[in-house]
Amino acid sequence: MEKSFKYNRLAKDDAALLLVDHQAGLISLVQDFSPSEFKNNVLAVAACGVYFKLPTILTTSFENGPNGPLVPELKAMFPNAPYIARPGNINAWDNEEFVAAVKKSGRRQLIIAGVVTEVCVAFPALSALEEGYEVFVITDASGTFNEVTRHSAWLRMQAAGVQLLNWFGMACELHRDWRNDIEGLGTLFSNHIPNYRNLMTSYFTRSE
Amino acid sequence: MEKSFKYNRLAKDDAALLLVDHQAGLISLVQDFSPSEFKNNVLAVAACGVYFKLPTILTTSFENGPNGPLVPELKAMFPNAPYIARPGNINAWDNEEFVAAVKKSGRRQLIIAGVVTEVCVAFPALSALEEGYEVFVITDASGTFNEVTRHSAWLRMQAAGVQLLNWFGMACELHRDWRNDIEGLGTLFSNHIPNYRNLMTSYFTRSE
Amino acid sequence: MEKSFKYNRLAKDDAALLLVDHQAGLISLVQDFSPSEFKNNVLAVAACGVYFKLPTILTTSFENGPNGPLVPELKAMFPNAPYIARPGNINAWDNEEFVAAVKKSGRRQLIIAGVVTEVCVAFPALSALEEGYEVFVITDASGTFNEVTRHSAWLRMQAAGVQLLNWFGMACELHRDWRNDIEGLGTLFSNHIPNYRNLMTSYFTRSE
Amino acid sequence: MEKSFKYNRLAKDDAALLLVDHQAGLISLVQDFSPSEFKNNVLAVAACGVYFKLPTILTTSFENGPNGPLVPELKAMFPNAPYIARPGNINAWDNEEFVAAVKKSGRRQLIIAGVVTEVCVAFPALSALEEGYEVFVITDASGTFNEVTRHSAWLRMQAAGVQLLNWFGMACELHRDWRNDIEGLGTLFSNHIPNYRNLMTSYFTRSE
Amino acid sequence: MEKSFKYNRLAKDDAALLLVDHQAGLISLVQDFSPSEFKNNVLAVAACGVYFKLPTILTTSFENGPNGPLVPELKAMFPNAPYIARPGNINAWDNEEFVAAVKKSGRRQLIIAGVVTEVCVAFPALSALEEGYEVFVITDASGTFNEVTRHSAWLRMQAAGVQLLNWFGMACELHRDWRNDIEGLGTLFSNHIPNYRNLMTSYFTRSE
Amino acid sequence: MEKSFKYNRLAKDDAALLLVDHQAGLISLVQDFSPSEFKNNVLAVAACGVYFKLPTILTTSFENGPNGPLVPELKAMFPNAPYIARPGNINAWDNEEFVAAVKKSGRRQLIIAGVVTEVCVAFPALSALEEGYEVFVITDASGTFNEVTRHSAWLRMQAAGVQLLNWFGMACELHRDWRNDIEGLGTLFSNHIPNYRNLMTSYFTRSE
Amino acid sequence: MEKSFKYNRLAKDDAALLLVDHQAGLISLVQDFSPSEFKNNVLAVAACGVYFKLPTILTTSFENGPNGPLVPELKAMFPNAPYIARPGNINAWDNEEFVAAVKKSGRRQLIIAGVVTEVCVAFPALSALEEGYEVFVITDASGTFNEVTRHSAWLRMQAAGVQLLNWFGMACELHRDWRNDIEGLGTLFSNHIPNYRNLMTSYFTRSE
Amino acid sequence: MEKSFKYNRLAKDDAALLLVDHQAGLISLVQDFSPSEFKNNVLAVAACGVYFKLPTILTTSFENGPNGPLVPELKAMFPNAPYIARPGNINAWDNEEFVAAVKKSGRRQLIIAGVVTEVCVAFPALSALEEGYEVFVITDASGTFNEVTRHSAWLRMQAAGVQLLNWFGMACELHRDWRNDIEGLGTLFSNHIPNYRNLMTSYFTRSE
């Protein structure tokens, strides 16, 4: 059998997490997810960053203007992460400090989520890909104006070689094996997947 | 001008809250809302019950079977509320203990949310209406199998005289005036309306 | 409190089931449900008829022409039910034999499902209503060309006083109390609600 | 049993058909149906008018301006029908000539279809209702800007007492019994319901 | 023929326009319309107010907080209109100054649009109805969190007797006859209905 | 003409079927299909496995926990198939026993369906592709949380070289020619495509 | 500039049209288009075949069984076209007579439309591609069970190199220049694009 | 790390803007966007052309026929742009004058928007790609008959190498850094993104 495809698989020790422009103003522009779902997804991807101890980089665009401040939850979850408040670069990769932080992480896999998908996510994704990184975009923690825009942004990124996956896929690909930590992963899922929490509630109630 | 319509308006001192069958198993049947949205809405309506100090009644159906236990958050939020684990009555209003608890509340307005909409919500709603109560169904904290079912359940209830409104409408109709407690209402909204939280984040950041 | 609304509630001893024109050709016109869902719903409402021992009447329109024969499952489930193959009346209520069969059932509540909603269901529903029957249309076992048509048919029927509900609501309203027969109702749900079956599978596996 | 509802049923000898403002310009504003579906529905309701020999009235609004001429097919199908090119009245019922034509028809049931639903249909529907006519709006041969608008127009008309139904429901309610003319009705359906034509094709092929 | 329905028809000399809480912050919560569509609709209903010289009342809720200021366009279009910045009343009708302004207008028909539908629109609509006003809610210039919420708000208002219609229906019902001012109405449509503008562009180009 | 594309076509003697994690708990998380449709599709793909005598491998993840047991129907349909209850590996391909079973089948084409799409299906699909297998994912027997997740999972798999097709496409590509067994294929379709069953019912009724 | 992409553009003298399995029974399975739209699209692509004088091949599968006869309109439009009633091959390309007819056409571009998309269209499309043909699938004249199936079928074909386009794109790519025949192309569009017909009606009315 | 992907990034000095066939008649055919949204998007992409001083080329097809004149706004925004009224070529790239204008711009990146997507946009996009240009299609300023058509047109273009992005992505990719002109970009967004305008209104109100 011929073996031409290489499965670039997320690995805890290879990956860094980039959270781009999840700012109070910009998030209010997002309409391709319901606000409750989007909030949950963003917090879930951040919780993955914490849980898997991924080097994480926060960045914002123009946070003193209408775009607004980073949502406080993210700042609180990563108190020691590099935080690059970009003064003007729209593509985070155009910001030297940001790229330096990425390089300092020493990771070759970049997991990116942000607002809005076709700009704050797609631009650094394409730039990083050109630099040779493996790029994974978390599709359900990246939001934009509407579904038409999301769809075209995905097609542009797919064509370039970005791997598209949701936060749950990211968590599972990083964790590899439930036995590495059953309780930890279960808690992560329970906190961010209401129906998984329901399964656990029913299960543990019955097991008592 | 003729005045034939009477606006039966929710009032803090007239209303009781009935949370019907939000059980771990039954909620997993709900597909007319995304799970994250539905969870948020259910917790929001419960938070309204706490905030407005509404007499609240919890009830479940067959909780030792596949329907599963009440979701723990609700039990925790109303530790002292009447809790009627119905042994078999599908319509909660067929359970004497439940009706007694309603009557004991002394309220004439009943706010009902539950799972599933066309049964656990609609049946007691119609029964209570027949008894002369004013009935308000919280549409976004009541879930069911799909949108077709929801739609027909709503039309049946509307025709009977049920008032349909979402949890936000309920909160606003109960609160009447921001000046009664600006911070309290703001916190309620901030906790359950992500984009309202964003507005507050931007506002208070700028005001500092 | 004023008591002006009367809750006309389905009761096993008051209701008859009318299955109208679920014919192989006509069903292929239905596009407001996916075929798998619709088939499941029709068989579920029929299973309710059997389970609750409702007097059931089958009728078809022009079954030797393009409309096609009654789907064989329904015939098989009700081998002894009155079966009125209408030679031409579009509104089943215009057929004397059909009305005679309804009257012979002695029931005052008529549960109707059929194809297509705005004709084969709505016409006899409106006629029966005029005759003073309480009429319940099973919304998810009645199909039509598209959602626009369904929606307008529902509004016409709602305005006339038809009660709209799905088969699950019908089953629950008829059964009243799980204790009347836990296993029977559970089996009915397990056979026609895949996620309820899943709940039962998990529950009984754990309970073993 | 109480008999309070009266089923006002369409009857060939009681009904007139009013086709309002199906003009080339106005139809291009319709987006709550795909153009092919809408065209088919409009021609179908017109074909019903011809087939059932309903007194039919055509009217247009400002047809020398941007609203454009009546679509030629309708004019061709009713060469002898009263044709009222309203010089300015938006509500056709405000036009004396139009009302005179309606009255001259001697019918008490008015079937209305037109463009756009909330204006050209709803206005004369409400006016006619006030005059004591029974009014039937053909929902799928009446189009408007989008589904939100359609939905609110339907609710306004439903509340007033308009009966909402699609062209197929209209045809069936008028025809009453296939035996009145099997071939004629079959042809009507075959021409305007592609899947019914398919049923007939298969049926007659096999019967040969 | 029986004449039981009364068509309460909008009339220029009977109607007042109430624009409720179209504030920069609150509008960002609206997700049942795309932002471009909603902006267009709100400006259109305002343009109708100006064009038909309707007494117009502006009101806001808590405009110094997160809800944000009235969108500047509305203020600019009605520089002399009563402007009631409510300090805390959620239901505008609870504000004496607002009700006084309504009464001072001398009108018995109230046209209401606002944000969000189930609160800022529905509450004063129901209150005004109780006071005997004829109430018309402009459905496409009133926005809310999602379609579920909109739908239940509409059903609550419909049941109470509110007439639901879009801004175009409002304009047409007020104008009555194109001949009253062809150019004025045409300009209004051209400014807010892009495809009507296209019809006019094509028409006048050809007519030159 | 240039011939660069190679059509890797499913063949009965080259293909194995892998059913991954269709467990009672996990299936309750699936919301990108209605439950009835999904159940039908899963049973259909399994029926294909039986009918075409494909080597079939069953696997589950953590079946003693909240994920729940394999749905009993699948176990019953493949009583002798290798059944690998993975103790912890999320990607089935990380389980040596599973890969050994795949290798033992001797097939180079792997047909995969499972729950959830982006994890239980996509991970082994990508791993197998890297190993040189031809991989076919059955899109309608693989479910996940919502359509956004499905869409991104598909794009990731498409980019890697997975062939996406539904169970009906799989059946037809394997069967090649109706004449190989008309009755068998017809029965398969009749059991799982309600409208195909309707076609057969009408056909055979007429042919009698 | 680098020139690596070659635009394989449809040309009248290079293309043949293959209409696969548009049979009365199979078409009734199509639910990813409304029946009226689908019928229009199929007739439109056929009308293109006639208008552009493309060598056209008709084929059916099992037309004496439940799949039903070819829709009569297509047979009538191509009385002299090769018509291959396949006795059993599901993939038309497996039928020697069909492939011979394709080869005899001498064309290197194959335009394919059929029912259902993922089988009757995709299979010969992939086979022809492997043989070195340029393949164009007419997406809106090819129908299937639902949108999920369509979407995966498209992705499979896109990955293989099929060019996806609708019938209008096909017509325009073939025609190249309006001046080749203004009236002919206009008639084609007028017959199958209702809003284009409306544009023409308005235009020619004004030009008179 | 391997670097095989090259990010062809829009640059102000490399790009030209091609606006193809935004004509009053053709735009009325567009139904994959609401008219208000589409108008806004088209004017936004044009405003980007003006703001970034991109060489811009306007072209129309058959503007004296039913397709109608260019929408006047575009002509007014680019009074000095090359304007090629194509007498018959459907693919603008088949028009020598058009290609000459493109070449004269000296740009290697072509940004294309137009009506309809699969023809007026896709054809010149594919032709330009073949000529070695980098091609960017503005997805939300290009409209067509429906979403099915749009989707297949996008897949065809993606496969060929077209980069798909919305006007906002285009603006951001061209601008690179807010500091290049904060006020200018802010104004552009404020004019065409209503919720961004709201953010600015709230921000500047608070900052005063």
The closest alpha carbon to D203, from G149, C64, H78, belongs to C64
D178 touches C at CB < 8 Å: yes
Alpha-carbon dihedral E3, E4, E5, E7, rounded to 10 degrees: 60
The closest alpha carbon to F50, from F85, F74, F27, F23, belongs to F74
Give how far Cα C139 sits from Cα of C41, C126, E107, G103, G201, Å.
9, 15, 43, 53, 42
**Facing H159 at nearest CB: one of G2, G158, G203:** G158
Which pair of structure tokens corresponds to residue B204? 């208070």
Reported as a single tens digit per residue, the pLDDT across B126-159 is 999 999 999 999 999 999 999 999 999 999 999 9
- For chain B, the structural domain boundaries read 15-176, 179-208
pLDDT per residue, tens digit, chain F (208 aa), is 456 899 999 999 999 999 999 999 999 999 999 999 999 999 999 999 999 999 999 999 999 999 999 999 999 999 999 999 999 999 999 999 999 999 999 999 999 999 999 999 999 999 999 999 999 999 999 999 999 999 999 999 999 999 999 999 999 999 999 999 999 999 999 999 999 999 999 999 877 6
Amino acid at F55: P
What's the pLDDT score for residue H3? 60
Q: Using 50, 70 and 90 to split pLDDT, how confident is the model at A180?
A: very high
| Residue H193 to residue E35, Cβ atoms within 8 A | yes
Reported as a single tens digit per residue, the pLDDT across A134-164 is 999 999 999 999 999 999 999 999 999 999 9
Q: Do H36 and D148 touch, CB atoms closer than 8 A?
A: no
Contacts of H126 in chain G (CB under 8 A): 5, 7, 9
Q: Do A86 and A60 touch, CB atoms closer than 8 A?
A: yes
Q: Is residue H1 predicted with pLDDT exceeding 70?
A: no
**Facing H152 at nearest CB: one of G165, G182, G193:** G165
Which pair of structure tokens corresponds to residue C207? 């309970």
CATH superfamily for domain C15-176: Isochorismatase-like (3.40.50.850)
Percent of chain A with pLDDT over 70: 98
Owner of token pair 């992505």: H169
Report the mean per-residue pLDDT for chain C. 96
* SS3 label, residue B2: coil
Distance separating alpha carbons of residues A110 and A99, to the nearest angstrom: 12
Reported as a single tens digit per residue, the pLDDT across G144-175 is 999 999 999 999 999 999 999 999 999 999 99
Instruction: Write down which chains contact chain F via at least 3 CB pairs under 8 A.
Output: A, B, C, D, G
Distance separating alpha carbons of residues G191 and G40, to the nearest angstrom: 9
What's the pLDDT score for residue G207? 72
A98 touches H at CB < 8 Å: no
Give how far Cα B38 sits from Cα of B62, B142, E156, F3, Å.
22, 8, 21, 53
Q: Is residue E201 predicted with pLDDT exceeding 90?
A: yes
What's the pLDDT score for residue E4? 81
The closest alpha carbon to G71, from G35, G96, G98, G95, belongs to G35
Q: Is D48 a catalytic residue?
A: no
What's the pLDDT score for residue D171? 98
Contacts of B198 in chain A (CB under 8 A): 24-25, 27-28, 68, 71
Which of D155, D172, D179, D201 would best serve as a mutation to test chain C binding (most C beta carbons within 10 A)? D172
Q: Is residue B208 predicted with pLDDT exceeding 70?
A: no
What's the pLDDT score for residue F4? 80
Residues C157-177, mean pLDDT to the nearest whole number: 98
Residues C143-156, mean pLDDT to the nearest whole number: 98
What's the pLDDT score for residue E3? 60
Q: Using 50, 70 and 90 to split pLDDT, how confident is the model at E2?
A: low
Q: Is residue G44 predicted with pLDDT exceeding 70?
A: yes
| Residue E90 to residue B176, Cβ atoms within 8 A | yes
Q: Do B16 and B176 touch, CB atoms closer than 8 A?
A: no
Residues E162-184, mean pLDDT to the nearest whole number: 97
Distance separating alpha carbons of residues G42 and E97, to the nearest angstrom: 63
The answer to whether chain G touches chain C by having 3 or more C-beta pairs less than 8 angstroms apart is yes
What's the pLDDT score for residue B4? 81
C35 touches G at CB < 8 Å: yes
Q: Do A48 and A89 touch, CB atoms closer than 8 A?
A: no
Choosing from D45, D54, D74, D120, the catalytic residue is: D120
Q: Do H121 and H156 touch, CB atoms closer than 8 A?
A: no
Which ipTM did the prediction report? 0.97
The closest alpha carbon to D160, from C155, B155, B157, B4, belongs to C155
Amino acid at E88: G
Residue B127: closest C-alpha in chain C: C7
Distance separating alpha carbons of residues D44 and D143, to the nearest angstrom: 14
Q: Is residue C2 predicted with pLDDT exceeding 80?
A: no
Which of C155, C158, C162, C163 would best serve as a mutation to test chain D binding (most D beta carbons within 10 A)? C155
Amino acid at G50: V
Contacts of A145 in chain E (CB under 8 A): 35
Q: In chain B, what is the greatest distance between 2 CA atoms, to the nearest angstrom?
A: 57
The closest alpha carbon to H94, from H64, H119, H68, H74, belongs to H119
Instruction: Region of F120 please: left (phi>0), alpha (psi -120 to 50) or beta.
Output: alpha
Reported as a single tens digit per residue, the pLDDT across G52-108 is 999 999 999 999 999 999 999 999 999 999 999 999 999 999 999 999 999 999 999
Which pair of structure tokens corresponds to residue H187? 């104004």
- The DSSP code sequence of A125-159 is HHHHHHTT-EEEEEGGG-B-S-HHHHHHHHHHHHH
Residues E148-158, mean pLDDT to the nearest whole number: 98
Reported as a single tens digit per residue, the pLDDT across C83-110 is 999 999 999 999 999 999 999 999 999 9
What is the mean pLDDT of each successive set of 10 residues along chain D, which is 208 residues long? Answer: 82 98 98 98 98 98 95 98 97 98 98 98 98 98 98 98 98 97 97 97 84
H66 touches G at CB < 8 Å: yes
Contacts of D195 in chain F (CB under 8 A): none
Residue H30: closest C-alpha in chain E: E195
Reported as a single tens digit per residue, the pLDDT across G4-40 is 899 999 999 999 999 999 999 999 999 999 999 999 9
Q: Do C167 and C48 touch, CB atoms closer than 8 A?
A: yes
Contacts of G189 in chain D (CB under 8 A): none
Contacts of C179 in chain B (CB under 8 A): 87-88
| Residue B165 to residue E159, Cβ atoms within 8 A | no
What's the pLDDT score for residue G4? 81
Alpha carbon F151 to chain centroid, angstroms: 18
A90 touches F at CB < 8 Å: no
Assess whether the previous peptide bond of F116 is cis (omega < 30° from 0): yes
C28 touches D at CB < 8 Å: yes
The closest alpha carbon to D111, from D46, D61, D177, belongs to D46
| Residue F139 to residue G148, Cβ atoms within 8 A | yes
Residues E75-103, mean pLDDT to the nearest whole number: 98
Q: Is residue G123 predicted with pLDDT exceeding 90?
A: yes
What's the pLDDT score for residue C4? 81
The residues of F annotated as belonging to the active site are 120
Residue C187 to chain F, least CA–CA distance (Å): 15
Distance separating alpha carbons of residues F148 and G205, to the nearest angstrom: 47
What's the pLDDT score for residue B174? 98
Contacts of D205 in chain G (CB under 8 A): 24, 68-69
B122 touches C at CB < 8 Å: yes
The single-letter DSSP state of residue G108 is S
The residues of G annotated as belonging to the active site are 120
Percent of chain C with pLDDT over 70: 98
Contacts of H153 in chain G (CB under 8 A): 164-166, 169
| Residue C168 to residue B65, Cβ atoms within 8 A | no
Alpha-carbon dihedral B89, B92, B96, B97, rounded to 10 degrees: 110
